[in-house]
Amino acid sequence: MTEMVFGTMPARVGEPVLPRWWRTIDKWSLSAVLLLFGIGLLLGLAASPPLAEKNGLYPFYYVERQALFGFVALMVMLAISMMSPSQVRRVGVLGFLIAFVALMALPFFGTDFGKGAVRWFSLGFGSVQPSEFLKPGFVVLAAWLMAAAQEVNGPPGRLYSFVIALIVVMFLALQPDFGQACLVLFSWGVVYFVGGAPFLLLIVIVGLAVVGGLGAYNGSEHFARRIDGFLSAEIDPRTQLGYATNAIQEGGFFGVGVGEGQVKWSLPDAHTDFIIAVAAEEYGLILVLVIIALYALVVVRSFFRLMRERDPFTRLAGAGLAAAFGVQAMINMGVAVRLLPAKGMTLPFVSYGGSSVIASGIAVGMLLALTRSRPQGQIGDLLIKRGR
């Protein structure tokens, strides 16, 4: 009876996992992610040798580490992309719980590496940033709760997810990490909006976020310093924003040439937060537009594929993951061109960083899994049949 009502497509009996995965995966999004990772390695070859020289390491130390992190991230991404939505939900909720416990332990065992914000656990051979792994898990958890709220006699999932979001934001603000806190709130807002939230309520939430931002400005010297630098009419050429702005201007349309850029010798975070400045200086606006197009391709194609999904959890979780992926890229590039205040946020798959790259692999793996074609028919089929 279910097949007659919902128009379920017949599954291919006995089809091996890999052929089925390849037939159902969004190949355009997968290709865009692989290209972004390749561009990240290319830019790492340009941006990281000066830092390696400064730290007394061989020139391609950071490039090799990025390649290792990227290999792990891609393997994790491909493995997760083969999962079913229910498996994605289990992995996401479990990952959120582990990351949240780690987040709570940061004030006691974390370190700031001299950057003024306690965001990392130092492991000796490397470091781990729990907030990077918390984001995809939180989106999945929020989507699960909101989807459950749509069921008959379901729990008040919207309220539960909002309370969890506030608790997470509070712990992130204690680091302080207001960039990640804003991204968590934004992701929750997207899931809530897709789940049918009243627009007026979202405006109220935005208002509360503004009030919280004013409170953070008055209560956090770290946050206030970044906002003051962003609002200043003059850019100090000796600051990171000053170096990045000058590099982007010098690059023009076609760049100054491979290996000819100078910003990588001045910016301490040229290989992480300001990697787009290296791209703009050496390769010009052309490469920057290619990078923007690749991120847009992943996000737009994901939204279009999710529009055809009937399962509420799949739609909500996929929309939240796609929006978070795209907005994180926008924030990173917006900071470099001084459209946004500095937030210390990486460019997914392009910036150097083990936690960032692997967490991005987890998030995109979940997104690819949720946007795979499934033998379920489309939501449009159901709407047409109901209208008859």
Q: What are phi and psi of 7, to 5 degrees?
A: 70, 45
Number of C-beta neighbours around residue 345 at 10 A = 25
Per-residue HEC secondary structure of 280-345 comes to: HHHHHHHHHHHHHHHHHHHHHHHHHHHCCCCCHHHHHHHHHHHHHHHHHHHHHHHHHCCCCCCCCC
Tokens of 277: 């400045």
Give tens-digit pLDDT for 39-94.
Answer: 999 998 888 888 888 888 888 888 899 999 999 999 999 999 999 999 999 999 99
266: in domain: yes
Residue 38's pLDDT is 94
111: in domain: no
1: in domain: no
110: in domain: no
| pLDDT tier at 379, thresholds 50, 70, 90 | low
18: in domain: no
121: in domain: no
44: in domain: yes
14: in domain: no
Please tell me the distance from the alpha carbon of residue 336 to that of residue 222, in angstroms, as a whole number.
19
Residue 230 has pLDDT above 70, yes or no: no
Domain that holds residue 307: 24-104+129-387
Percentage above 90 pLDDT, the chain: 42
Residue 282: CB partners within 8 Å, gap ≥ 6? 46, 251, 255, 256, 257, 258, 259, 260, 261
Q: What domain count does the chain have?
A: 1
11: which DSSP letter? P
Residue 327's pLDDT is 93
Indicate the helix (H) or strand (E) that contains 121. Answer: strand 121-122
